[in-house]
């Protein structure tokens, strides 16, 4: 795998095996190799020679995967971007990249035209592939090929991360091993394909294992149910927000399949209360919790929920093979910044300094954590999210965990709010089941937390805003709740 992907194997040894499937059809490995070659030759003609990075604004589909690989086979760097983003957001994500042409579909065509960028439409690519004109076969996708992705940007402006293809595949194989996946698996992703979690944990795992990828068009519960029931899916991943909607509103029979052996949860924190609900719902599947960040390549650790004592369910498990972790500058409680060392971390941020990213080869994650005696990682929130109240550091994650123990709390997030006496104090924002009372909620928190950690207010809200991968969008939450805070 150190030399990338050998497409000649796809045309011979793997020729008839399905590589990627969706509701529009199936591409075998041999058909996929031809599609990739046609895209690669077309990209070389359509994209100016001095343009290295090719934005992709495509909805989830089987062809997304093939076009992504075709761009790399052409010697360019694919850069998947949310196809429904606004013009200003697109311009911010592509500033300084010399993007004269971009791949788009119907949902993003107007955006690309308004950005004064040459649109290379999915329809055009489909026409060229269908025509099947003569083309030189492409033998491999080089191991030193690269791809670009943007961080989630829930706590700061998104950064553009450059990953090396071989490193991503190695990380994906270690991740797949921790889940017990093999070449026989049929891996479903209904999460956004432009996110690094899908690019590595799903697409990368399929490439590394020579398995089969099932492309779901969106993450609606009805779509997930349809894909599981129709495509003999053996493994899929969820973000907590989607799983919460499923366990609250749907019957297990809609998601039951004798083929579905494993599910995992990632991209956002999950509480013990949530895990118990997921365990009670998916009674016939092995459940895993995974943790990672884009800069790490991206996966870092896995918790095999069914193989550990319930006391470890509030951890994100053990580091992957070839991954080391440490806690930097721990306080008296053992909480410090989680740092990671592995062979597959990002190459760097495009156009930005990485001077403060590594410390003697250790990646500074920005996550606060402790380690158990056996090396399990217990996250304690983001370093940037720490609330400093009267000189005392308060972790929002600790308060959120206490909130989730309260029966009527369905979702919770804690933010720092300016305070004249203490500098800043925690405020809690809660989605409840209709039985929530602020005074009773605060009373229960006082039974669980030091007084200084108890929120000054509990605000009951209809929704807690999240990004496409289920992480709480703290900036949007603060903006939407300014009136109730004041």
Residue 44 CB: number of other CB atoms within 10 A? 13
Residue 107 CB: number of other CB atoms within 10 A? 13
CA dist., res. 64 & res. 373, Å (int): 43
> Residue 358 in contact with residue 349, Cβ under 8 Å?
no
374-400 burial string, b = 16+ CB within 10 Å, else e? Answer: eebbbbbbbbebbbebeeeebbbbbbb
What is the total residue count of the chain? 486
> Residue 270 in contact with residue 305, Cβ under 8 Å?
no
Q: Given this model, what pLDDT does residue 318 score?
A: 98
Q: Given this model, what pLDDT does residue 35 score?
A: 95
Q: Given this model, what pLDDT does residue 427 score?
A: 94
Q: Given this model, what pLDDT does residue 306 score?
A: 95
Q: What residue has token string 């490193």?
A: 167
Smallest CA-to-CA distance from 209 within 14, 419, 404 is with 14
Smallest CA-to-CA distance from 365 within 336, 394, 334 is with 336
Beta strands (DSSP E) in 240-361 are: 262-265, 286-292, 299-304, 318-319, 324-328, 336-341, 348-349, 358-359
Q: Given this model, what pLDDT does residue 152 score?
A: 63
DSSP secondary structure code for residue 371 in this structure: E
Residue 197 CB: number of other CB atoms within 10 A? 25
Q: Given this model, what pLDDT does residue 144 score?
A: 93
Q: Given this model, what pLDDT does residue 155 score?
A: 45
> Residue 147 in contact with residue 165, Cβ under 8 Å?
yes
- What does residue 281 show for φ and ψ, rounded to 5 degrees? -85, -55
CA dist., res. 122 & res. 373, Å (int): 52
136-173 burial string, b = 16+ CB within 10 Å, else e? Answer: eebeebebebbbbbbbbbbbeeebbbbbbbbbbbbbbb
Q: Domains in the chain, start-ordered, CATH in brackets?
A: 387-485 (3.30.300.30)
Contacts of 190 (CB under 8 A, 6+ apart): 60, 216, 217, 218, 219, 220, 223, 224, 227, 236
Q: Given this model, what pLDDT does residue 479 score?
A: 81
What kind and span of H or E run contains 381? strand 377-382
What kind and span of H or E run contains 80? strand 77-80
Q: Given this model, what pLDDT does residue 49 score?
A: 94
pLDDT in tens, the chain (486 residues): 447 899 999 999 999 999 999 999 999 999 999 999 999 999 999 999 999 999 999 999 999 999 999 999 999 999 999 998 889 889 989 999 999 999 999 999 999 999 999 999 999 999 999 987 677 889 999 989 999 998 765 445 678 999 999 999 999 999 999 999 999 999 999 999 998 888 888 999 999 999 999 999 999 999 999 999 999 999 999 988 889 889 989 999 999 999 999 999 988 888 898 999 999 999 999 999 999 998 998 999 999 999 999 999 999 999 999 999 999 999 888 999 999 999 999 999 998 888 889 998 899 999 999 999 999 999 988 888 888 887 777 888 889 989 999 999 999 999 988 888 777 899 999 999 888 788 999 999 999 888 889 999 999 999 998 877 677 888 888 887 776 666
Q: Given this model, what pLDDT does residue 474 score?
A: 83
> Residue 387 in contact with residue 400, Cβ under 8 Å?
no
CA dist., res. 380 & res. 308, Å (int): 20
- Partner residues linked to 84 by β-bridges: none
* Strand 77-80 versus strand 53-57 pairing type: parallel
Is-above-0.95 flag for pTM? no
CA dist., res. 315 & res. 375, Å (int): 10
> Residue 448 in contact with residue 402, Cβ under 8 Å?
yes
Q: Given this model, what pLDDT does residue 481 score?
A: 75
CA dist., res. 53 & res. 134, Å (int): 26
């Amino acid at each position: 795998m150190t030399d990338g992907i050998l497409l000649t194997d796809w045309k011979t040894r793997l020729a008839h095996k399905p590589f990627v499937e969706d509701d529009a059809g199936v591409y075998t490995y041999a058909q996929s190799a031809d599609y990739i070659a046609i895209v690669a030759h077309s990209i070389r003609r359509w994209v100016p020679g001095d343009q290295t990075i090719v934005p992709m604004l495509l909805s989830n589909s089987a062809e997304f995967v093939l076009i992504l690989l075709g761009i790399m086979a052409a010697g360019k760097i694919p850069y998947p971007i949310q196809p429904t983003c606004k013009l200003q957001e697109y311009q911010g994500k592509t500033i300084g990249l010399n993007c004269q042409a971009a791949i788009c579909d119907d949902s993003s065509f107007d955006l690309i035209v308004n950005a004064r960028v040459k649109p290379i439409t999915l329809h055009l690519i489909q026409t060229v592939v269908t025509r099947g004109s003569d083309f030189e076969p492409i033998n491999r996708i080089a191991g030193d090929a690269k791809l670009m992705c943007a961080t989630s940007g829930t706590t700061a402006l998104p950064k553009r991360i450059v990953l090396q293809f071989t490193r991503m595949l190695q990380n994906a194989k270690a991740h797949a091993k921790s889940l017990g996946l093999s070449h026989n698996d049929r891996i479903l992703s209904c999460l956004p394909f432009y996110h690094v979690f899908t690019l590595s944990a799903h697409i990368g795992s399929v490439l590394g294992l020579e398995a089969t990828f099932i492309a779901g068009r969106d993450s609606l519960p009805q779509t997930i149910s349809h894909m599981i029931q129709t495509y003999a899916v053996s493994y899929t991943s969820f973000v907590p927000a989607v799983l919460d909607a499923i366990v609250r509103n749907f019957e297990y029979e809609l998601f039951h399949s004798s083929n579905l052996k494993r599910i995992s949860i990632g991209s956002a924190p999950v509480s013990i209360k949530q895990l118990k609900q997921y365990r009670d719902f998916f009674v016939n599947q092995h459940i895993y919790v995974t943790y990672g960040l884009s800069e790490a390549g991206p996966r870092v650790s896995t918790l095999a929920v069914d193989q550990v004592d319930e006391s470890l369910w509030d951890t994100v498990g053990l580091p992957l093979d070839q991954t080391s972790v440490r806690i930097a500058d721990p306080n008296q409680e053992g909480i410090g910044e989680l740092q990671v060392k592995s062979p597959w971390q990002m190459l760097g941020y495009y156009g930005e300094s990485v001077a403060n990213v590594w410390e003697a080869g250790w990646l500074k994650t920005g996550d606060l954590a402790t380690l158990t005696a056996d090396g399990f990682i217990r996250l304690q929130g983001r370093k940037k999210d720490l609330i400093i109240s009267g000189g005392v550091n308060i972790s929002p994650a600790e308060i959120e965990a206490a909130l989730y123990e309260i029966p009527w709390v369905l979702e919770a997030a804690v933010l720092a709010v300016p305070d004249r006496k203490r500098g800043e104090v925690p405020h809690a924002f809660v989605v409840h089941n209709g039985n929530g009372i602020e005074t009773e909620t605060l009373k229960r928190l006082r039974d669980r937390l030091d007084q200084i950690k108890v929120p000054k207010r509990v605000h009951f809200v209809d929704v807690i805003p999240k990004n496409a991968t289920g992480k709480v969008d703290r900036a949007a939450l603060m903006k939407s709740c300014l009136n109730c805070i004041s």
